[in-house]
């Protein structure tokens, strides 16, 4: 039976830290605040938003919602981005994507101030991940995968790591983060030949394909650590990952469940970035306070 790598166990430690730092900032008159920008009413966006809002409330972080209709014009969305960029009370922004197809997502993303890009979506933030430098904030989901590994003492150094998926949101940055930790990394995608044998070689597998059950028992073996990023709705209407959990769990050493794994840690990482952003945007004032 595999060890379950549970989001709630990782979050317990992360959230204590966020709560303490938020309380310390509030004492100095700074309330870390997340701006939530949503265009339309997609159910997956609403579900993530509900989770983020609840967590903000638990941790003492404030939030401001900016909601536009699904048919909002490009200028209207850009105007909201301009507003959050200049609002000194908003320290970080969560922009739900994908945006409706009629919008130019690239232009909207790049209108966002890099200092407020706590979700790591601008080119500057991604450049930091790819250059291995502390530029901006790293994308939250691959960071959550790394937090899970760190929490359970799983060090990628010297290990064979396989990432399934090469999106800029998850797969590519996850591969770069594993490389940064001295893992030997292979990335799989739809053009990969004989994916089962490539994945079987890995000590650590991160799966972010967005296809329910794309990794089944034939890809896996004893001793592997499996991080399942996928969030899908299965044929039975229930949430499921990209890994066939029932086939994987008896085989591998450790695995994240879906739900209950990566997703909730992603929210913690996002909110820890909001706290960091609040500190960075008030660094001068905090330095003065510390000097007193």
Which positions touch ligand NAP (CB under 6 A)?
Answer: 141, 164-167, 169-171, 188-192, 195, 208-211, 214, 229-232, 262-263, 266
Residue 145 CB, nearest distance to ligand NAP (Å)? Answer: 9
Give 57-60 contacts, CB < 8 A, sequence gap 24+: 58/15, 58/19, 59/15, 59/18, 59/19, 59/22, 59/271, 60/19, 60/22, 60/23, 60/26, 60/31, 60/32
Closer to ligand NAP by Cβ: residue 30 or 220: 220
Residue 71 CB, nearest distance to ligand NAP (Å)? Answer: 24
Closer to ligand NAP by Cβ: residue 153 or 191: 191
Sign of the four-CA dihedral 214, 149, 54, 25: negative
Residue 120 CB, nearest distance to ligand NAP (Å)? Answer: 11
d(CA 19, CA 60) in angstroms, rounded, equals 7
Closer to ligand NAP by Cβ: residue 113 or 167: 167
Residue 241 CB, nearest distance to ligand NAP (Å)? Answer: 8
Residue 2 contacts residue 61 (beta carbons within 8 Å):
no
Q: List the one residue out of 181, 183, 221, 184 whose CA is nearest residue 199.
A: 221
Closer to ligand NAP by Cβ: residue 183 or 213: 213
Strands 92-95 and 62-68: unpaired
Closer to ligand NAP by Cβ: residue 166 or 181: 166
Residue 178 CB, nearest distance to ligand NAP (Å)? Answer: 15
Closer to ligand NAP by Cβ: residue 85 or 232: 232
Residue 153 CB, nearest distance to ligand NAP (Å)? Answer: 22
């Amino acid at each position: 039976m595999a060890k379950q790598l549970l989001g709630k166990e990782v979050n317990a430690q992360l959230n204590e830290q966020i709560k303490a730092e938020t309380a310390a900032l509030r004492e100095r008159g700074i309330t870390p605040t997340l701006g939530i920008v949503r265009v339309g009413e997609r159910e997956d966006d609403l579900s993530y938003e509900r989770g983020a809002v609840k967590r903000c409330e638990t941790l003492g972080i404030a939030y401001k919602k900016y909601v536009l209709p699904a048919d909002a014009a490009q200028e209207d969305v850009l105007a909201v981005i301009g507003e959050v960029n200049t609002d000194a009370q908003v320290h970080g922004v969560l922009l739900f994507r994908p945006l409706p197809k009629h919008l130019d997502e690239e232009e909207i993303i790049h209108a966002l101030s890099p200092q407020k890009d706590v979700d790591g979506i601008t080119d500057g933030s991604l450049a930091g991940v790819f250059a291995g430098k502390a530029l901006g904030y790293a994308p939250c989901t691959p960071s959550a995968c790394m937090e899970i590994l760190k929490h359970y003492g799983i060090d990628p150094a010297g290990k064979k790591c396989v990432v399934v998926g090469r999106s800029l949101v998850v797969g590519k940055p996850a591969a770069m983060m594993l490389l940064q930790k001295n893992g030997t990394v292979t990335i799989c995608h739809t053009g990969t030949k004989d994916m089962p044998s490539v994945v079987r070689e890995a000590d650590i597998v991160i799966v972010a394909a967005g296809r329910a059950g794309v990794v089944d028992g034939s890809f896996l073996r004893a001793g592997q650590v499996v991080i399942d990023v996928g969030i899908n709705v299965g044929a039975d209407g229930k949430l499921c990952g990209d890994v066939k959990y029932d086939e994987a769990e008896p085989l591998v050493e450790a695995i994240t469940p879906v739900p209950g794994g990566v997703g909730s840690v992603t929210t913690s990482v996002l909110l820890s970035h909001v706290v960091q952003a609040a500190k960075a945007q008030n660094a001068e004032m905090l330095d003065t306070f510390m000097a007193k």
